[in-house]
Each structure stands twice: as structure tokens, then as C-alpha cells.
């Protein structure tokens, strides 16, 4: 038994309708994934800075620049610019590395030579759909991610 042309067209039409229904949820899932990846990258960089501070026995800084053209860098001096490759930056991330994500708020975080933070601090990342994740650095230098706005199954609410 073969299929007629009309049966094939109807089957393709059903597949197109199902694909169109699935596309918005797929796009939202992709936005959440990009936001989570950016937050986890910042968390890993904070942890690396903490390790390097204790390992090298000197202060380390996570320098952040929010807004358009945002970036952050793990640096040996607090005034190290994160937007360009510099000798003072051990590691850096640019907004172009995380399409669809914006660093809304972030100030320089300082880690003492023992790996503890001089003061608690945080950074706020936002996706195009308005979901926000916050990366908090506590006074001991430990960092965590929480959901500031939008539902997240991976991170606790702030």
C-alpha cells in the first residue's frame, strides 16, 4: 500500500503546525540556558579568583562593567579594564560571548589574599525575555546563583 500525495501533504501540514506550536517554548528554553551559562561562568570565575588569591597570597578582583558592551575580568588590580586584553587580567568574559544576556548591575568585587571577600557583593544578569539571575559573593568569598526574576527550576529564588 502506498501513500497518496494528499496524505503526504496532510501529514506535512500537521508536522508544520506542531513545530510552530513548539517553537516559542524552545526559544524560551534557549534564553534560560544562555542566562544560566553566563551566571555559571561568572560563578566559576569568582571561584577561580578566590582560589588564585589564596594560592598566590595576594588580593584578586572581579572587575565588572555593566550595560552595553558589558564585561567582567578576574584581575590582579582593581582598576584593570575588562573590555580589552590586559596583562593584569587573568581571565575575562565579554557580552559578545553570551548573546542575549546583559549584565544589568555589577561592581568590582575584592578578594583578600586569604580568599575572603572584603565585602559581600553581587552581579545581576538578565535575558531578553526579562528573566534575571543574581550571582552573590558572600563575605567568606563563596558565591551562589539565585533567580531574581522569572521562574527557574535550576536555581532557588533570591
pLDDT tens track for 98-156: 999 999 999 899 999 998 998 999 999 999 989 999 999 998 888 999 999 887 778 99
* Strand runs labelled E in 12-120: 60-65, 71-75, 89-94, 101-106, 109-111
Closest CA to 76 of 97, 48, 95, 104: 48
Out of 3.55.40.10, 3.30.70.120, 3.30.420.10, 3.30.300.30, the CATH code matching 27-149 is 3.55.40.10
Annotated domain spans of the chain = 27-149
Distance CA(140)–CA(129), nearest Å, equals 33
Q: How far is CA 99 from the centre of its chain?
A: 10
pTM of the model: 0.82
For residue 39, what pLDDT band results from cuts at 50, 70 and 90?
very high
Amino acid at each position: 500500500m502506498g501513500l497518496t500525495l494528499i496524505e503526504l501533504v496532510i501529514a506535512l501540514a500537521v508536522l508544520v503546525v506542531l513545530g510552530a506550536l513548539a517553537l516559542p517554548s524552545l526559544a524560551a528554553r534557549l534564553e534560560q540556558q544562555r542566562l544560566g551559562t553566563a551566571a555559571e561562568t561568572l560563578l566559576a570565575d569568582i571561584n577561580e579568583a578566590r582560589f588564585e588569591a589564596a594560592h598566590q597570597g595576594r588580593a584578586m578582583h572581579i572587575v565588572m562593567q555593566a550595560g552595553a558592551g558589558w564585561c567582567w575580568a578576574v584581575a590582579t588590580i582593581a582598576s584593570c579594564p575588562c573590555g580589552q586584553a590586559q596583562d593584569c587580567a587573568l581571565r575575562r568574559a565579554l557580552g559578545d560571548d553570551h548573546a542575549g544576556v546583559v549584565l544589568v548591575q555589577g561592581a568590582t568585587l575584592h578578594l583578600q589574599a586569604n580568599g575572603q571577600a572584603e565585602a559581600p557583593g553581587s552581579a545581576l544578569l538578565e535575558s531578553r525575555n526579562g528573566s534575571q539571575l543574581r550571582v552573590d559573593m558572600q563575605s567568606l568569598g563563596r558565591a551562589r546563583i539565585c533567580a531574581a526574576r522569572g521562574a527557574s527550576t535550576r536555581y532557588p529564588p533570591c
